[in-house]
Amino acid sequence: MLGERESAAERRALMAGGRLYIVAYGCARAWATLTFTGTGAAVLAEVPWSFDPHLTFDAAYIAISLLLVLCFRRFIPLNENRWVKTASAAGMVVASLCCVAAWWLPAFSFPLMIIGSLAAGLGYGLFLLLAAEVLATFSLLRIFLFLSAAMLLGTVITFFCQSMTGVAAQAALVLLPVLAALYLQNAYGQVPTAERPKRGVPKFSYPWKLFALYGLYAFAYGMRANQLTAGAGQHSSVSTFVLMAVLFLTAYFASKRFNIGLLYRSPVVLMVCGFLLVPAESLLGSAASSWLISISFSLMSFLVMFLLYDISKRMGVAIVAFMAVKNAEQLFQVLGGAATDGLGLLGLPAATENVVVTAIVGVLILAATVLLFSEKELASKWGVGILDAGGLVERTEEEEQTAVRVQELAETYRLSPRETEVLALLAERKTGRVIQQELFIAEGTFKAHTRHIYEKVGVNSRKELFEVMGIAQRA
């Protein structure tokens, strides 16, 4: 009875942590949109100067992401590193104060915006990695639901804050990052100690296909980002609201029938259709192509994040190692925008420039298509099976406990990543033939991995292995 009460208490804490995460991430995304990542930052509308603070924001954001790519082992878990948390919160608050000061002191707006945008890029880049650590402690279904709900909330908060003016708008800018930091800290506090990220990182390889795929989409989106119509865009826009609402509701009410594989391939169609409509904007208007392009990129960004969480959980690798790389790929979006600006300097007619942009994007999407439809390595090398699973299914409490036990054995007996994958599938009571098919390995390879597991754990059969793991063997 005590165990049942503790389990129920842990589940309540888990859901409380999820709600806190949603609020924290939603506040941070809204803040970023209202300051330096969106196109309609209300607090900057009356500042009389033309410098684009997105450039310095992106520079700081990419720089801090690259630093974490190189040095993440020294800082993880980020949520237990006081300096990282302080730098994140301070960076966002300082950026807000600079925005407010620029409003009241327009003569000093240029240096204030330089300082503010650099601080914002630093603070927001760290915040996203802190938030990723918290989200990685949940199951895959909850990750999908919480992430989409947080982005949905971010668009709602942005909508209400954009209608504010004067002191109310300034107060919101200062309050949002404070709330984001406090809620995220409380969300991490709700995570059970056993589920918190570990300091050590096993040997792993980066899922380069996912990063290459996202880089191609980021470059293509960057070529068009500055020309999107109102309501379309990546950062808490109307198009983001529509997309996240559809994802959340579908996953919530039909998780078993939710086909991640089909969703994973759909951005290709959306992106192609969006750019095919670019030359016809004089006839059809720019809204159709803008919405298709922005939804395509937002969807791909969301799905790449989701698959990185999946890989992180399967391999036992800190999510910071993957998300820092993804965040650093903001560089490709910047380069895409620079490429379009470069074409503009050639003095080409608008129609010709649109055709050239469409041709370039066509080549990029062709390359992306090759990556999308050759994802066998995602399953064989990094264990991503959810693309062919046919649904987004929540694991039972027994399955969660088994997964924990598998990870404990893997750490205790120093199992390799592949041996850990085989052990996890054995713990699910899958046959050797099924395991071979899921991991794309030969029968001899499967037997070799199984033999190594038995030798390291000190058992001679699957029955003895189950006894060590505390799993009842079914008849």
* Residue 43, pLDDT score: 47
Single out the residue of 395, 400, 404 nearest to residue 316, CA to CA. 404
Structural domain boundaries enclosing 402: 395-469
pLDDT of residue 5: 44
Q: Given this model, what pLDDT does residue 383 score?
A: 64
pLDDT band of residue 254 (cuts 50, 70, 90) is confident
Tell me which of 22-26, 115-119, 219-223, 452-456 is least confident: 219-223
187 and 230: one domain?
no
Which has the minimum average pLDDT: 166-180, 194-208, 317-331? 194-208
CA neighbours closer than 13 Å in the CB half-sphere of residue 31: 36
Tell me the pLDDT band of 227, cut-offs 50, 70 and 90: confident
* 457 and 351 share one domain: no
pTM over 0.85: no
Q: Is the pLDDT of residue 120 over 90?
A: yes
Which of the listed residues 381, 413, 431 is the one where a domain comes to its end?
Answer: 381
Confidence (pLDDT) at 11: 60
pLDDT over 50 at 66, yes or no? yes
For the segment 126-132, the average pLDDT, to the nearest whole number, is 97
Indicate the residue among 325, 357, 381 that finishes a domain. 381
Q: Is residue 332 part of a domain?
A: yes
The residue that leads in pLDDT, 453 or 293, is 453
Which amino acid, residue 74?
A: R
Rounded to whole angstroms, the Cα distance separating 56 from 36 reads 9
73 and 101 assigned to the same domain: yes
State mean pLDDT over 131-153.
92
pLDDT of residue 279: 59
**What tokens does 279 get?**
């030359």
Which of these three, 321, 353, 381, is where a domain ends? 381
Which token pair is 70?
């190189």
Mark whether 277 and 360 lie in a shared domain.
yes
More confident residue, 347 or 382: 347
Nearest Cα to 124, choosing from 76, 159, 90? Answer: 90
Do 356 and 225 share a structural domain? yes
Name the domain count of the chain. Answer: 3
Summarize pLDDT for 460-469 with one digit per residue, the tens: 888 888 888 8
Considering only CA atoms, which of 269, 278, 281, 284 is closest in space to residue 359?
278
How far apart CA 79 and CA 130 sit, in angstroms, is 6
Per-residue pLDDT tens digits for 156-182:
999 998 888 888 888 999 999 999 999
- Give yes or no for a contact between 99 and 39, defined as CB atoms under 8 angstroms apart: no
What letter represents residue 130's amino acid? Answer: L
Do 87 and 28 fall within a single domain?
Answer: yes
Q: Tell me the CA distances in angstroms from 390 to 82, 261, 312, 393, 464, one per residue in order.
A: 42, 8, 21, 9, 33
Which CATH number goes with the domain that contains 321?
A: 1.20.1250
One domain, residues 60 and 177: yes
Which range of 129-138, 313-322, 349-358 scores highest in mean pLDDT? It is: 129-138
> What would the pLDDT profile of 396-433 be if each residue is shown by its tens digit?
566 667 777 888 888 888 888 888 888 888 888 888 88
Q: Is residue 388 part of a domain?
A: no
Question: Do residues 454 and 422 make contact, with C-beta atoms less than 8 angstroms apart?
Answer: no
CA angle 322, 314, 75 (to 5 degrees): 40
Selection from 131, 128, 144, 137 nearest residue 386 by Cα: 144
The pLDDT value recorded for residue 236 is 67
CA 236 to chain centre: 15
**226 and 96 assigned to the same domain:** no
pLDDT: which is higher, 31 or 210: 31
Gap between the Cα atoms of 48 and 231, Å rounded: 24
Q: What is the DSSP string of 234-255?
A: SSS-HHHHHHHHHHHHHHHH-G
Instruction: Judge whether 329 lies within some domain.
Output: yes
Q: Are 187 and 246 part of one and the same domain?
A: no
Please tell me whether residues 371 and 399 are part of one structural domain. Answer: no
Q: Domain for residue 4, yes or no?
A: no
Question: Domain containing 451 — which CATH number?
Answer: 1.10.10.10
Is residue 122 located within the same domain as residue 255?
Answer: no
pLDDT at 105 over 80: yes
Bond from prior residue into 177 cis (ω within 30 degrees of 0): no
88 touches 130 (CB < 8 A): yes
Percent of the chain at pLDDT above 90?
31
Asked whether residue 114 is assigned to any structural domain, the reply reads yes
Would residue 142 count as lying in a domain?
no
In a domain, 390, yes or no: no
User: What was the pLDDT predicted at 391?
Assistant: 60
Q: What is the pLDDT of residue 2?
A: 34
Do both 245 and 128 map to the same domain? no
pLDDT of residue 4: 41
CA 113: distance to chain centroid? 27
Among the residue ranges 219-228, 267-276, 390-399, 430-439, the one predicted with the least confidence is 390-399
Residue 389 lies in a domain: no
The tokens of 356 are what? Answer: 């050239």
Q: What amino acid is encoded at 435 in this protein?
A: I
- Residue 199 CB contacts under 8 Å (≥ 6 apart), including other chains: 76, 77
